[in-house]
Structures are given as structure tokens and as C-alpha cells.
């Protein structure tokens, strides 16, 4: 358990933060001084303990996923830390009697952001804050907001996964996948996870998957994906009730083939490509299935606030009581952001990667080849 530092009565005017030149790859990351953000109306200032890495950060570094208009160009979509200042309308007296809207100086929080997390301070809209339970380490809490809100909004809300449902999770040991497998197991769903190695298969089973499929082996003679046939074998021909997909176009036909009648496919990323060649839509229609997708970063603050509130209620208690482990696999110092991106993008990675503002909480210090 980390020790919560005392709140500051006066904040500094400058901080260390990470931007990107947009040239692509870890070498595009620049660590340097930035003005400390001033919280606006409806915002609080958080002294950041840690920031979680997400695929969107790598896309932003590559110049393909800029922040929404008006949001910080500093990278980072989720943080943990403590409240150190209030913007207009957010102090406890102005917030009124609703305890969910009251965040005092020194409160331990984690937050969902549209940008600005790779920094020592972050301004956060009040509705995107969540309290960090006493049972949860403050640094590791940075691994919660983005992944939990993504999993809940797509599996709990959009796909309406219920106890007993069979769910296929692609990338079952990644940042999203690790959390999704645990969440689904905790709510009584039956999980099949795709993985890329024997070691990752064992990891997925530890997380709660009933079965795993090695996607490097589940291919046709021509090298095309063929995991649907394995799904049918594992489910006695019934198929799965929902699919959480991060691959996109190349998996569409197989995802539909793996579906049970009335099944739901939720696509949250297109890491394999956005287009599906020669797909027969009648195969989806015949199963009365549906295909949907969603993003989180670009949603209006009001929608994010709703998702954050639902996630805090439905999912955060599962972390507090130990049914979901935040699966942090590596911690890097803020100055070593480039090395953190390299680790995140490696085939060997499982779980979440964090950037910490206190170098003493990192697994290793900055190294050659880090962010410039």
C-alpha cells in the first residue's frame, strides 16, 4: 500500500510532462517542462502518482490519433493521484450534499482523461474522477480508469453480458484483455480468450478464462484466421454470446462465424486493419446478431461522467475486494516514457504498463534510448 502524500496548499507553476513530435514511435516522445494546468470551472487539479499506458498513446505518438479539440496535447488517458486544488464550483461546499460530488484536498483519486496524463499534474473534470478505495495501491490505481470504463461500457452496457453468457475475448492477456477476462469471470460469464503463446494461455487461465485459443495456430492452410472452428468445438456447436474484438476487419468473418444466435460483437480497436474483404452480411443477419463499435476518448464529458459513475459502482468494488487484479506488469519513470512505449508494444507484454512520477516507484530508472 502506498502512502498518500499531504496535499499542497500552493502548487508549482511548472512541471515535467511528455509530448510527442508526431513523427512516430518511442523516439518521438519529448520529456520537458510544461506549465501546471489551471483547473477550470468544474475541474480539480490532481497531483499525479502514475499514468497508465494505452494503445491510443502509441497511436498519438505515431500522429494518427490526435486529442479532441481543446484537450491537452500531453499524452495520457488515465491517472491516479491526489486532489491538490479546486477549480470554480468544485470545492466541497459548492458541490452540495451529494458525497459523490465532493472531493477534498488530499483525497485519493483516479481519473479518466482525454489527454494530459503523462505529467506531474493534471486538470480533471469532476465527473471523471473516482475515489481510490483504501484497499487499492494509489500508484496501481492508474491502471483502472481507461480499461475499466472501456470494459464496462462495452461488455456491461452495450453488449449486456449476463451471468452464464459465453464471451470470446481477443488478446486475453493484454491491458484490456486481462481486465476483461477478470471482469467477466467475476460477474459469472464464461470466457474463451485468444492468446499468442503457451505462456499467455496459462496467464489467461489464471485470470479466469475457461478456455484459450492460440491464434498463431488457429489458422487455415493459407494462413487465414480459423478460431471460429475451435470456438464451436469448445461450445458444442453453440457459439458465443458476445465477442470483444480489438483486431478489426481481418477477424470480422470469423467473429460472426463464432457467434451464437442473437450474439453481439463489440469492436473497440482495429489493430489488424479497418477493412473486411468480401464479407457476406447475410451471415450476420441469419444469426440475428449485431455488430457495434465504440470509442471513449472523443465522447462528450457528460457521457464520460455517466460511464465513470457506472464503472465506479459496478466495477471498482471488484478491485477493492480482490476479485480483479489490476495486472500491472511494469512501472517506468516519467523520464523513461520511450522505454515504457517500447515495453507496451512488445509481443512479450502482458497486463498494464505505468509511468510513475516518483522514480523510486519505478521498476528501473531511465536508460539509454529513452525519451529525449
Burial classification of residue 81, based on how many CB atoms lie within 10 Å of its CB (0-12 exposed, 13-18 middle, 19 or more buried) = buried
The dihedrals phi and psi of 260, each to the nearest 5 degrees, come to -80, 165
Say what the pLDDT of residue 351 is: 87
Q: What is the pLDDT along the chain (372 residues), one digit of tens a residue?
A: 444 555 555 789 999 999 999 888 999 999 999 999 999 999 999 999 999 999 999 999 999 999 999 999 999 999 999 999 999 988 776 655 455 568 999 999 999 999 999 999 999 999 999 999 999 999 999 999 999 999 999 999 999 999 999 999 999 998 899 999 999 999 999 999 999 999 999 999 999 999 999 999 998 888 889 999 999 999 999 999 999 999 999 999 999 999 999 999 999 999 888 898 888 999 999 999 999 999 999 999 999 999 999 999 999 999 999 999 999 999 999 999 999 999 999 988 988 999 999 999 998 543 333 332
Element (H, E) at 27: none
Within 10 Å of residue 284's Cβ, how many Cβ atoms?
20
Predicted local confidence at residue 347, as pLDDT: 86
> What confidence score (pLDDT) does residue 99 get?
53
Q: What is the pLDDT, as a whole number, of residue 328? A: 94
C-alpha cell at 171: 488478446
Which secondary structure element, helix H or strand E, spans residue 68, and what is its range? Answer: none
Give the model's pLDDT for residue 305: 96
155 is written with which cell numbers? 461488455
Residue 25's Cβ-side half-sphere holds a number of Cα atoms within 13 Å equal to: 3
Q: Specify the pLDDT at position 354.
A: 97
How far apart are the C-alpha atoms of 71 and 230, rounded to whole Å?
44
Locate cell 497508465: which residue?
A: 52
Question: How far are the Cα atoms of 10, 216, 219, 251, 358 from residue 224, in angstroms, in the given order?
Answer: 59, 10, 5, 9, 46
Residue 94 is predicted with a pLDDT of: 60
CA 330-332-335 angle, to 5 degrees, is 165
Phi, psi of 256 (to 5 degrees): -65, -40
C-alpha cell at 287: 444469426
Q: Mind listing the domains of the chain with CATH numbers?
A: 14-144+297-361 (3.90.180.10), 148-293 (3.40.50.720)
- Strand arrangement of the beta sheet that strand 190-195 belongs to: 211-214, 190-195, 166-169, 240-245, 259-267, 290-293
Q: Between helices 198-207 and 175-186, what is the axis angle to 10°?
A: 40
Amino acid at each position: 500500500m502506498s502512502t498518500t502524500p499531504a496535499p499542497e496548499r500552493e502548487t508549482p507553476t511548472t512541471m515535467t510532462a511528455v509530448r510527442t513530435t508526431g513523427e512516430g514511435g518511442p523516439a518521438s516522445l519529448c520529456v520537458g517542462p510544461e506549465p501546471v494546468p489551471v483547473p477550470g470551472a468544474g475541474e480539480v487539479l490532481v497531483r499525479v502518482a502514475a499514468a497508465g499506458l494505452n494503445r491510443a498513446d502509441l497511436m498519438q505518438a505515431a500522429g494518427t490519433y490526435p486529442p479532441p479539440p481543446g484537450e491537452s496535447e500531453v499524452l495520457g488517458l488515465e491517472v491516479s493521484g491526489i486532489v491538490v486544488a479546486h477549480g470554480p464550483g468544485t470545492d466541497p461546499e459548492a458541490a452540495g450534499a451529494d458525497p459523490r460530488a465532493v472531493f477534498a484536498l488530499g483525497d485519493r483519486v483516479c481519473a479518466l482523461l482525454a489527454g494530459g496524463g503523462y505529467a506531474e499534474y493534471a486538470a480533471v473534470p469532476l465527473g471523471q474522477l473516482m475515489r481510490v478505495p483504501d484497499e487499492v495501491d494509489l500508484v496501481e490505481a492508474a491502471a483502472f480508469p481507461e480499461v475499466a470504463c472501456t470494459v464496462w461500457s462495452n461488455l456491461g452496457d452495450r453488449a449486456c453480458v449476463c451471468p452464464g453468457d459465453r464471451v470470446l475475448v481477443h488478446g486475453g492477456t493484454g491491458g484490456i484483455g486481462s481486465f476483461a477476462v477478470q471482469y467477466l469471470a467475476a460477474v459469472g460469464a464464461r470466457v474463451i480468450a485468444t492468446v499468442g503463446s503457451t505462456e499467455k494461455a496459462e496467464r489467461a487461465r489464471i485470470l479466469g478464462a475457461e478456455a484459450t485459443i492460440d491464434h498463431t495456430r488457429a489458422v487455415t492452410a493459407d494462413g487465414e484466421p480459423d478460431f471460429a472452428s475451435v470456438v464451436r468445438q469448445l461450445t458444442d456447436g453453440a457459439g458465443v454470446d458476445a465477442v470483444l474484438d480489438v483486431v478489426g476487419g481481418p477477424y470480422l468473418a470469423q467473429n460472426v462465424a463464432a457467434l451464437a444466435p442473437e450474439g453481439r460483437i463489440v469492436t473497440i480497436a482495429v489493430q489488424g486493419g479497418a477493412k473486411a474483404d468480401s464479407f457476406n452480411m447475410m451471415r450476420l443477419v441469419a444469426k440475428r446478431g449485431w455488430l457495434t463499435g465504440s470509442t471513449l476518448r472523443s465522447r462528450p464529458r457528460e457521457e464520460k461522467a455517466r460511464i465513470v459513475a457506472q464503472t465506479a459502482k459496478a466495477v471498482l468494488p471488484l478491485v477493492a475486494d480482490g476479485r480483479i487484479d489490476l495486472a500491472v506488469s511494469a512501472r517506468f519513470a516519467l523520464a523513461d516514457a520511450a522505454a515504457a512505449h517500447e515495453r507496451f508494444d512488445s509481443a512479450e507484454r502482458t497486463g498494464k504498463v505505468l509511468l510513475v512520477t516518483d522514480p523510486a516507484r519505478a521498476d528501473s530508472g531511465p536508460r539509454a534510448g529513452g525519451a529525449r
